[in-house]
Amino acid sequence: MPIGSAQVRSQSVPDAPSARLKGRTYSGISQAKSLSKSSSNSSARPFAYREAKATKNTSLYCGKHSLAALAKRYGTPLYIYSADQILERLALFQEALIGRSHLVCYAVKANSALAILKLLASEGAGFDIVSGGELQRVLTAAPEAAGRVVFSGVGKTAEEIDQALGADILAFNVESEAELTLLASRAAKRKRKARFALRVNPDVFAETHPYISTGLREHKFGIDIRQARRIYNEAKGNRWLTAYGVSVHIGSQIRSAEPFGAAMERVAKLVRELARDGIAIQSVDAGGGLGIDYHAAPSFDPAAKVQEYAAALTTALGDLNLTLLLEPGRFLVAQAGALLARVLYVKHNGKKTFVVTDTGMNDLIRPALYQAYHEIVPVTPRGGRATVVDIVGPVCETGDFFARDRKIKPVEPGDLVAILDAGAYGMVQTSNYNTRPRPAEVLLHGPDATLIRRRETMADLLGPELAAL
Ligand code: LLP
């Protein structure tokens, strides 16, 4: 797809406003042109261009919130998230599994903002964590959700296991025999039974970026599914271990439902074998990984995607009467978020034009790390022809770019741009490289805008080192 064309199209095709906005008019605002179209009630993105009645200026909004006003109030770079969309996405999973015992365990690693964890917990979500730090976040934001936590990860320490046993989490997704041995000994020491699931590696290929594919035997994740039956049987004799489930996670940003179904078929076969061995498994955990459309093709329909995904899993499970756990991360939060930045300079080097913004790879590393595509749109579009530019940050690395050879409407220094679909693996992968403070974060919920994390200060950055001077 030609770069930038989706953005141009979104401004010229009169899309239906999203269901959430139907029947509502906000003062001074008319006409909504959504940045993506969807055939169902679930919109792909919560951002839309609107025309202010008074000024006739078209500008980007999230619900009733003007992004330009948010930038003025909170500064840039700024992460903004739509709580409404996050809840809509959670509901898609919950509704797709109505009638079947299930729990959506949000993958905290995708976006671990305390306010977002609290929001999701309030609607019944559980959590998938991968560190003691993430457990601490869940316990801080939503202590009542401790019993809805599953603990994944290949390198759990004894301290982390103790912390999770103390919190009485739902289950440990165990990734090696050595980890199971350690879990048993820590549980015995605390005299507290540990519920575990073996994370099996189903040897299923899922088409995605090599860095985020995990379900093949050559990857470091999980236990070879052919060894799992033996390990469950060996654990039977241990009074401190309860074989609660079987878990699997084949990778991230997977666009087709097919590999999820294939992996679940292998898991279902294992569960049946274990039943014959007298091991009654109570849950299967399908992991995360359902992908979004970063190009936001008009046909992308989140509700249909979730339906298709849930159908692939439930078909593979057949008549097995188990609790189905899911660990979505990206699908819940990616499209709800944008990174708002200001253009500092527009410079020309030979034939190339560089748009230099005040946000860099330290604030959003996905393009540099995975060659990831993020759509970038001007907040208040100017007239004139779109041109081809590189959109880059101020960090001293050639890899510090957000888009290369991208067709974008004209922008000038001082203009705002929004980097879309940045709600997942954005803020959580930030760093202080180049001694740059991390961005602030704002959560938009209906008419409310809440600063959920203040911008870092130099004191935050230098503090840990000052004692040594
Ligand atoms: N469960 C487990 C065990 C995982 O390892 C992951 C992601 C998830 C769930 C959630 O997957 P999701 O639904 O978000 O695809 N930083 C990369 C993504 C790394 C994903 C790691 N594991 C990115 O920016 O694309």
Ligand 1, atom 6, residue with closest C-alpha: 288
- Report the nearest atom of ligand 1 relative to the CA of 153: 3
Read off the pLDDT band of 42 (50, 70, 90): low
CA of 104 to the centre of ligand 1 (A): 15
Which range (18-22, 72-76, 156-160, 417-421) has the least confidence? 18-22
Supply the pLDDT for residue 341: 98
Ligand 1 pocket check for 110: Cβ under 6 Å: yes
CA of 56 to the centre of ligand 1 (A): 42
Q: Which of 129, 252, 427 to mutate to test the pocket of ligand 1 (most atoms within 8 A of CB)?
A: 252
End-to-end CA distance of the chain: 54
Architecture of domain 5-76+336-459: Beta Barrel (2.40)
Supply the pLDDT for residue 122: 98
Which range (178-187, 219-228, 403-412, 416-425) has the least confidence? 219-228
The angle at the Cα of 408, spanning 406 to 414, to the nearest 5 degrees, equals 115
Ligand 1 pocket check for 428: Cβ under 6 Å: no
CA of 424 to the centre of ligand 1 (A): 9
Supply the pLDDT for residue 13: 22
For range 157-168, the mean pLDDT: 98
Spatial separation of the C-alpha atoms in residues 408 and 61, rounded to whole Å = 19
Please state the length of the chain.
469
Ligand 1 pocket check for 439: Cβ under 6 Å: no
DSSP 286-344: ----B---TT--TT--HHHHHHHHHHHHHHHHTT---EEEE---HHHHTTTEEEEEEEE
- Report the nearest atom of ligand 1 relative to the CA of 130: 3
Tokens linked to 429: 């992968």
Could you confirm whether 396 is annotated as catalytic? yes
Report the half-sphere exposure of 253 (CA within 13 A, side-chain side): 19
CA of 103 to the centre of ligand 1 (A): 18
Looking at the chain, the whole-number percentage of residues with pLDDT higher than 70 is 89
Helix locations, 191-284, DSSP H: 225-235, 258-276
Whole-Å CA distances, 118 to 113, 127, 146, 425: 9, 11, 12, 18
Do the beta carbons of residue 449 and residue 442 sit within 8 Å?
yes
CA of 192 to the centre of ligand 1 (A): 30
Residues 6+ apart with CB under 8 A from 385: 410
For residue range 312-354, list pLDDT tens digits in order: 999 999 999 999 999 999 999 999 999 999 999 999 999 999 9
More confident residue, 114 or 23: 114
Q: Which of 179, 293, 330, 333 to mutate to test the pocket of ligand 1 (most atoms within 8 A of CB)?
A: 330
DSSP 117-166: HHHHHHTT-EEEE-SHHHHHHHHHH-GGGGGGEEE--S---HHHHHHHHH
Q: Which one of the listed residues 98, 178, 396, 468 is annotated catalytic?
A: 396
Ligand 1 pocket check for 427: Cβ under 6 Å: no
Amino acid at 210: P
Supply the pLDDT for residue 3: 22
- Report the nearest atom of ligand 1 relative to the CA of 214: 5
Supply the pLDDT for residue 12: 24
Which range (152-166, 264-278, 297-311) has the least confidence? 297-311
Supply the pLDDT for residue 43: 76
Ligand 1 pocket check for 61: Cβ under 6 Å: no
Q: What is the pTM of this model?
A: 0.91
Ligand 1 pocket check for 252: Cβ under 6 Å: yes
Handedness of CA 245, 215, 320, 88 (dihedral sign): positive
- Report the nearest atom of ligand 1 relative to the CA of 328: 13
Class of domain 84-332: alpha beta
Per domain, the residue ranges of the chain are: 5-76+336-459, 84-332
Query: Which residue in this structure is represented by tokens 């792909």?
Result: 44
For range 198-227, the mean pLDDT: 80
Which range (8-17, 260-269, 299-308) has the least confidence? 8-17
For residue range 312-322, list pLDDT tens digits in order: 999 999 999 99
Supply the pLDDT for residue 36: 52
CA of 302 to the centre of ligand 1 (A): 18
CA of 463 to the centre of ligand 1 (A): 32
Q: Which of 90, 92, 109 to mutate to test the pocket of ligand 1 (most atoms within 8 A of CB)?
A: 109
